[in-house]
Structure 1
Amino acid sequence: MTLRLVLVDDHPVVRDGLRGMLGTQPDFAIVGEAGGGLEALAVVEAVRPDVVLTDLRMPEPSGGTLIRLLLERVPTVRVLVLTTHDTDSDVLPAVEAGAIGYLLKDAPRDELCRAVRAAARGESVLSPSVAAVLLARVRPQAPADTRLSAREREVLALVAQGRTNREAAAALYISEATVKTHLLHIYAKLEVPDRASAVSAAHRRGLL
């Protein structure tokens, strides 16, 4: 099955780069591009793609407003945010508007391709720093607790050994999805964006 994609970004060089990366995938077809919100609405309504990859800050409408309008006009489309911004003021409106995923532009090509396929299947995809923002927001009244649970320590110890999520899941007899959830909790508690930073922070704090 070929996934039909529309690229939305006000920087032509960014669209060129995305087209170069994604266009080489045999199951992707770039069926439209736009440099701003109004153009994006027209293009998406005309070609009705499977996935829209969009930046947040560009000529209006943009951000959460653009995402909301895209979904109103083409309810079947999946909107995947690809941006450089991961602050509360960017993440929360986008997710609340209905974005199925939120990645940063420094994501590796393989991760981006996996995210597009996951979005097309209706699966949420979040960069670790974005997930940390959302986790902090859903428990805003809770006191900060940086203590790791016993299971989180086990997961982090395996990650420190270089184990993949799948290998850690097998070692602990849990699902890979559960490992990912534990990692998100670890990132939030240690206030770090990724695996390497989590291991480094844990060593500094004597948690490993």
Structure 2
Amino acid sequence: MIRVLLADDEDLMRAGLRMMLQTQPDLTVVGEAADGREAVSLAAATTPDVVLMDVRMPLLDGVAATRQITGAAEHGGPRVLILTTFELDEYVFDAVRAGASGFLLKRSPPEVLIDGIRTLAAGEALLGPSITRRLLAEFARATPAAPQPEITRRLSRLTEREHDVLLLLGRGQSNAEIAARLHIGEATVKTHVTRVLDKLALRDRVHAVVFAFDHGLVRPGGG
């Protein structure tokens, strides 16, 4: 059973989400929060697998709430799925930095949202193509951080093939695209991705993109 926490300041939105999720035998709503502060509190109390998080809420916005929820948990903590009204929401980039693992538009069809919850609960990330392109553009404008001894140590643990996979992850490529580029099977790619995330202590492939850009492994133009 996948445990879901709803965080949205609109009562009707929460009610609609709850009714939709209750139709699924593998999903259960463990709590509802009307603001970001309550979301943080309920996340600690109910230990959800996935938090559906609105970005614009009183007391504490969704970005700050996401940062507190993901920061308080270890590698296996709740996954945060941000629900945005607009595809180019100004908060999307900040939410990735805060630890969000996925984004969907509020107007997405019910089956897309339900599949998205299952995807995050399975440990994967969820980004639509247009949002991914925007994120990559944002990262391309950012200045890479100076290498740190701890980062260098983590990278040294990667095999040559795992390093190649990390670079392709950083460019936003899917498992199928990575498989074609490296001439290996998708199952092998999935194994490499899992090992990369584990060795670098990253939550999911979204944060592999963040890591790659932050530390200068991927640069504007795909270099």
- What TM-score do the two structures reach when normalised by structure 1? 0.64
Cα distance between partner residues in 2 of 1:53 and 1:21:
13
1:72 and 2:76 correspond: no
Structure 1: tracts of 5 or more residues without a match? 142-165, 167-172, 179-208
Map 1:111-130 to 2 at 5 A: 111-130=112-131
Map 1:30-109 to 2 at 5 A: 30-75=29-74, 76-87=77-88, 89-109=90-110
**Which amino acid in 2 is paired with 1:11?**
E
Cα distance between partner residues in 1 of 2:85 and 2:91:
10
Q: CA deviation at 1:93?
A: 0.4
**Which amino acid in 2 is paired with 1:64?**
V
Q: CA deviation at 1:12?
A: 0.5
**Residues 108 and 174 (structure 1), Cα distance of their counterparts in 2 relative to 1, 3 Å cut:** farther
Kept in 2, the 8 Å contact 1:83–1:105? The answer is yes
The 3-state SS of whatever aligns with 1:125 is: coil
Q: CA deviation at 1:21?
A: 1.2
Cα distance between partner residues in 2 of 1:120 and 1:48:
13
Q: CA deviation at 1:120?
A: 0.8
Q: Percent identity?
A: 44
**Which amino acid in 2 is paired with 1:53?**
L
1:138 and 2:147 correspond: no
1:27 and 2:26 correspond: yes
CA-atom RMSD in angstroms: 2.5
Cα distance between partner residues in 1 of 2:67 and 2:140:
25
Cα distance between partner residues in 1 of 2:89 and 2:13:
24
Cα distance between partner residues in 2 of 1:70 and 1:15:
19
Kept in 2, the 8 Å contact 1:33–1:40? The answer is yes
Give aligned pairs, total: 148
Cα distance between partner residues in 2 of 1:121 and 1:40:
22
Kept in 2, the 8 Å contact 1:63–1:93? The answer is no
Cα distance between partner residues in 1 of 2:131 and 2:28:
27
- What TM-score do the two structures reach when normalised by structure 2? 0.60
**Residues 36 and 105 (structure 1), Cα distance of their counterparts in 2 relative to 1, 3 Å cut:** same
Cα distance between partner residues in 1 of 2:23 and 2:42:
22
Q: CA deviation at 1:122?
A: 1.5
**Which amino acid in 2 is paired with 1:134?**
L
Range that drifts further, 35-44 or 25-34: 35-44
**Residues 34 and 117 (structure 1), Cα distance of their counterparts in 2 relative to 1, 3 Å cut:** same
For the pair shown, the structure with the greater C-alpha radius of gyration is: 1
Range that drifts further, 46-55 or 128-137: 128-137
